[in-house]
Structure formats: C-alpha cells, structure tokens
Homo-oligomer: A and B are copies of this chain.
Amino acid sequence: MRICRTPEEMRSACRELKASAPGGRGLVRELGFVPTMGALHAGHMSLVEAARRECGVVAASIFVNPTQFAPGEDFAAYPRTLEEDCAKLEAAGVGVVFAPAAETMYPAGTTAFVDVGELGERLDGASRPGHFRGVATIVARLLNIVGPDRAYFGQKDAAQAAVLRRMVRDLNLGVEVRVCPIVREADGLAMSSRNAYLSAEERARALVLRRALDAAEETVRAGERNASAVRAAMLAYFSDFADPQGEGLRLDYAEVVDAESLLPVSEVRAGDLVAVAAWVGRTRLIDNFLVGVG
C-alpha cells in the first residue's frame, strides 16, 4: 500500500491504481474512495469493505480537516492514530492512502471554498458554524485529486450525506455517492472516533441517544405519523435523563426531517430522517435512523 503526502503524488498514484484494476471483457476498472479523518473504527472499515466489494481498487484518505471544526471545537484533541490506521487499511486491501499535512492542503493564501447554501446550515450545520462548508470543500478537493467512480460515507453523518449528495449533483462532480449503514457497539452506541473521549460514566450516559431514537422508532411503528408526536417521544426521553446544569447530558437537536433537504416534516413518511445530537459531558455525539428503511 502506497502512502502519499501531496496532491500531485496522490493524483498520479490513483491514476496508476485505477489502470492496474482488473479490467478486460465485462470487467470495469472502477476506483472506490473512502475519505476519513483517521482514528479508524469498524464503521470506517465497513466503508472500505463496501468499496472493496463494489470496485476493482480502493483508495482512502486520512486527514483531520481543520476547516470543518468550528472555533473552540476539538480539532487539536481529535485522535490521531496514523500508523494503526494505515495497518488497518492495508490489511483491508486499500491500494493507496492520502495522508497530507494541514499546511499541504491549506498553504497561506488558500481562499476558495465550496458551499451548499442553506442546506449547510441545518441540523449539525446550525450548531457547528462553517462545519459543512469545510466538509464540502475538503471532500470536493479530495474527489478532484482522487477521481474515483464511487465515494463512501457513513449514514451516522446523515446531514453530511445530504450535503455531499447535493454538492456532487449541483457541481457535476460525476462520482457516485454511496452511504453505508451505521455500525454500532454491542449495546447500540453508534461507532464514532469521538467515543474515545468518553469516561466510563459518560459512556453509559451516551446510550440515551440510541434509546431516544428507539422510542421514536417504536412510536412510528405503532402507527404515529405526526412528526411532532415522534419528536416529543425523543424529547421526553431526553428530559428524563438531562442534567439541568447541562454538564452530564445536553440535547442539541432531536428532529424529524426530509433526508435530502434536512427541513422538518409535519407528517412522517418512509425515508424521512430522525436524528439526534447531544453533548455528553464535553463530547458531542450524533445518531439517527431512516424511517421504514433497513
């Protein structure tokens, strides 16, 4: 597995990788791409496995992108485990990894960006100013460098998936966006690199996100179609567990939205997104499910 540090190196490595893919009659030389911020867990590896199944060759990136962290967020503290990450990717059959330095991607005088407009200000975009501009910009750039046929993202970041689908469509990026199911710990907690921040007590409390979604799912399964009622089921669950000082558990949002526009719905339909975000101690966690899907 080759590790590239500059866009030029990565661009030509991906070109060579794609040319080396199994080709010939009835076989397509397709390149899959899995962009990550590293600190890889089973959720990331499920993306790599999907890419391996669906494409002849796979490239990945490991880059903690500074522009998608709002001021005061955990950019400096974000876990960095490059060696272990590369070992996992190599074992999983990745051909090329892009692991640039922040200064390589953002030299002085870098000013261009990609934005998806109001869509980027909904859900996580509302509480993390500039987050989705940073995400859209770095993903567009990585896609421009790698030139994949398919790019893989996790459903845990449901708003990000909507933002990137919109970006790829609106800017004619010509790549297929694949969104893979959430991978969970045995007790139901959605896997996240940020789970590493949690103390034992917080780890237990973090299950409230999943339980609130369970309550919402139960409500929908019982026939409720009023989004306010579904939302109320989540809010009630949170208010039972919330810490009035907001230190133990603080809700950011609990919403029922259209999965593409991220706008609230009044009547729940199949495919709608039910999503929660909460701070558990100083760690912000998110989780979601799609109504009547999977």
Complex: chain B residue closest to A140, CB-CB: B171
Q: Bound state CA distance, A174 and B172, in angstroms?
A: 16
Cross-chain contact of A115 among B115, B167, B174 (Cβ < 8 A) = B115
Contact B166 A112 (CB under 8 A): yes
Contact B113 A115 (CB under 8 A): yes
Q: Mark A88-130, 1 if CB is under 8 A from B, else 0.
A: 0000000000000000000001111111111100000000000
Total copies of this chain within the assembly: 2
Distance (Å) between the CB of A8 and the closest chain B CB?
9
Contacts of A11 in B (CB 8 A): 172, 174
Contacts of A172 in B (CB 8 A): 7, 11, 141, 144-145
A236 interface hit (Cβ, 8 Å):
no
Contact A115 B116 (CB under 8 A): no
Chain A interface category by residue count: 20 to 34
A42 interface hit (Cβ, 8 Å):
no
Cross-chain contact of A171 among B141, B170, B261 (Cβ < 8 A) = B141
A173 interface hit (Cβ, 8 Å):
yes
A39 interface hit (Cβ, 8 Å):
no
Distance (Å) between the CB of A149 and the closest chain B CB?
13
A189 interface hit (Cβ, 8 Å):
no
Given A7-B172, A11-B174, A172-B7, A112 contacting B167 (CB threshold 8 A): yes
Cross-chain contact of A114 among B7, B109, B110, B114 (Cβ < 8 A) = B114
Contacts of A113 in B (CB 8 A): 114-115, 117, 170
Q: Bound state CA distance, A7 and B171, in angstroms?
A: 11
Complex: chain B residue closest to A163, CB-CB: B112
Contact A144 B171 (CB under 8 A): yes
Given A141-B172, A144-B171, A171-B141, A114 contacting B112 (CB threshold 8 A): yes
Distance (Å) between the CB of A66 and the closest chain B CB?
15
Q: Bound state CA distance, A231 and B40, in angstroms?
A: 57
Name A residues whose Cβ lies closer than 8 Å to a Cβ of B. Answer: 7, 11, 109-119, 136-137, 140-141, 144-145, 166-167, 169-174, 261
Instruction: Report, nearest first, the 6 A-B pairs whose CB atoms are least far apart.
Output: A111-B117, A112-B170, A144-B172, A112-B116, A141-B172, A112-B167
**30 A-B interface contacts by CB (under 8 A):** A7-B172, A11-B172, A11-B174, A109-B261, A111-B116, A111-B117, A111-B118, A111-B166, A111-B170, A112-B114, A112-B116, A112-B136, A112-B167, A112-B169, A112-B171, A113-B114, A113-B115, A113-B117, A114-B114, A114-B171, A115-B115, A137-B171, A140-B171, A141-B170, A141-B171, A141-B172, A144-B172, A144-B173, A145-B172, A145-B174
